[in-house]
Amino acid sequence: MRRSFLILLVTASLSIFLIPVQSDVVSSETKMSLVTTITGAISPKSVRSSGTGLVSAHNMMYNHSITIYDANTFALIKTVPDSVQLSKFGYSKSPALFKGAPVEGSYSPDGKYLYVTNYAMYGKGFNHEGHDTCSPASHYDTSFLYRIELESYTIDAVYPVGSVPKVVEVTPDNKYVLVSNWCSYDLKVISIASQKTVKTIKIGRYPRGIAVSRDSKTAYVAEMGGSRIHAINLEDFSITYIPIGSNPRAIVLSPDNTKLYATMNLSGKVAAWDLVSNKSLGAVKTGKAARSLAISNDGTALFVVNFESDTISKVRTSDLKILQTFKVCNEPIGVTYDSSTSRTWVACYGGSIKVFDNK
């Protein structure tokens, strides 16, 4: 959403006030249209906008890389290999390089870093790769979270996490990095100050989506193997539950943090929850296997990719009306909304990224 500001000078007190004027563009009133298709040596599991001019794609074990693009020109800025020398960080005695498998990413609020989860690690000592069907009893290898320094585009820190880590989120106050571990059934809370895990929180079967309130006081975590969202108090780590419905996968919050939206993978629906009155606001079916979702920065529109339908849906948040649904690519798996350009980026697992204008 583009905003302009009217500046009023109150001479009596010599005070300046900024009064927002109604935006001339409302996301729910625009139409998505394809701008470009990005290809190359990519197999993006997800895409993520920094909100400051970058978009990253996380290319799993099929390409062992993170690719970073200019959000305005779509140009490839850097391909970051997922190879690291774990001994450099004190996690191996071997000087050999180890490879990862980038799944999802999250940018630090100061714009200095990109944190990336790795589905598994490859190299000496990693012999029991994780699987999509698993439990802590499976004893699959644990993995690592990477931190990429965005001035040099190099991996400058690694963090041991659980087995098959999926989603990562940095809290807006830059205090914690949160990682959901699919096969460990838990959430790791990593302190940025100490660079250590300070809490491991049991979630249940297949933790995945994470969203954090703007005040950094509450983290919402989807239990994809169940039917609830865990609302975690990040001050004392107490937990309450939102009975969102079966198989929640991805989560976003409204800009004012009064509503939560979640994709329900098996039913192909997007569900809405009022966090103030603590009640359901209904759901809408968008396609088969609703996977990732993103929200426009004005909060009026959701963008949902439907993996088995090969479609993307644009949904109005006020009444959950589907505004657009169309074929986007084979197996769309990830989506992000870039607020600086009002564009929607879609990760196509087969090896491309689709970028859409909203005009």
Beta strands at 196-202 and 186-191: parallel, antiparallel or unpaired? antiparallel
pLDDT tens figures, 113-163? 999 999 999 999 999 999 999 999 999 999 999 999 999 999 999 999 999
Work out the burial of residue 163: count CB atoms within 10 Å of its CB; fewer than 13 is exposed, 13-18 middle, 19 or more buried.
Answer: buried
pLDDT tens figures, 152-175? 999 999 999 999 999 999 999 999
Beta strands at 343-348 and 332-338: parallel, antiparallel or unpaired? antiparallel
Would you give per-residue pLDDT tens digits along the chain (359 residues)?
333 333 333 333 333 333 333 346 899 999 999 999 999 999 999 999 999 999 999 999 999 999 999 999 999 999 999 999 999 999 998 999 999 999 999 999 999 999 999 999 999 999 999 999 999 999 999 999 999 999 999 999 999 999 999 999 999 999 999 999 999 999 999 999 999 999 999 999 999 999 999 999 999 999 999 999 999 999 999 999 999 999 999 999 999 999 999 999 999 999 999 999 999 999 999 999 999 999 999 999 999 999 999 999 999 999 999 999 999 999 999 999 999 999 999 999 999 999 999 99
pLDDT at 24: 64
pLDDT tens figures, 10-36? 333 333 333 333 346 899 999 999 999
| Per-residue DSSP letter, 356 | E
Phi, psi of 93 (to 5 degrees): -90, -15
Domain ranges of the chain: 5-358
Give the number of other Cβ atoms within 10 Å of residue 346's Cβ.
26
CATH class (in words) of the domain with range 5-358: mainly beta
User: What letters, b where the CB count within 10 A reaches 16 and e where it falls short, cover 107-135?
Assistant: bbbeeebbbbbbbbbbbeeeeebbeeebe
Q: Which of 304, 61, 104 is nearest to 209 (CA)?
A: 104
